[in-house]
């Protein structure tokens, strides 16, 4: 299930609350983002069920995007613990994302 970030506080709470969290930064005008988002959600559901996914609309929350140096969409940020571990932008392959997440995920869960 994909949750939507509504504020900076909500974003920070999500990082603190979960051991593994993925933030998907995009906006409604990005057609690539619309196709990729459900595939990323499916990847997490099938392979990383303990990881939570959040959607961040860069048009609605430009200050959150700026604070995280998000200048292109889609951008994926993955946190393990409270540390940013993975950052991918634009050309994101699902197999590459899977490979990047697997080792730290297995160490925690």
Q: What percent of the chain has pLDDT over 70?
A: 100
Averaged pLDDT, 75-95: 95
Residue range of the domain that includes 75: 2-108
Predicted local distance difference test score (pLDDT) of residue 56: 97
Domain total for the chain?
A: 1
Predicted local distance difference test score (pLDDT) of residue 37: 96
User: Minimal CA–CA distance to 50: which of 87, 21, 82, 90?
Assistant: 21
The tokens describing 5, both together, are 């970030």
The pTM of the full predicted model, rounded to 2 decimals, is 0.95
DSSP string, the chain: -EEE--SHHHHHHHHHH-SEEEEEEE-TT-HHHHHHHHHHHHHHHHH-TT-EEEEEETTT-HHHHHHTT--SSSEEEEEETTEEEEEEESS--HHHHHHHHHHHHHHH-
With a cut of 90, say whether residue 36 has pLDDT above it.
yes
- As a whole number, the mean pLDDT across the chain is 96
Averaged pLDDT, 4-17: 96
Q: How confident is the model at residue 1 (pLDDT cuts 50, 70, 90)?
A: confident
Domain CATH code at residue 45: 3.40.30.10
């Amino acid at each position: 299930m994909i949750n939507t970030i509504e504020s900076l506080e909500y974003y920070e709470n999500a990082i603190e609350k979960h051991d593994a969290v993925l933030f998907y930064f995009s906006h409604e005008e990005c057609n690539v983002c619309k196709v990729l988002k459900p595939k990323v959600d499916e990847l997490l559901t099938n392979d990383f069920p303990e990881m939570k996914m959040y959607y961040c609309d860069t048009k609605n929350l430009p200050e959150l995007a700026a604070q995280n140096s998000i200048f292109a969409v889609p951008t994926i940020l993955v946190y393990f613990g409270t540390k940013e571990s993975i950052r991918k932008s634009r050309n994101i392959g699902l197999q590459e994302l899977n490979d990047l997440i697997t080792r730290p995920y297995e160490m925690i869960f």
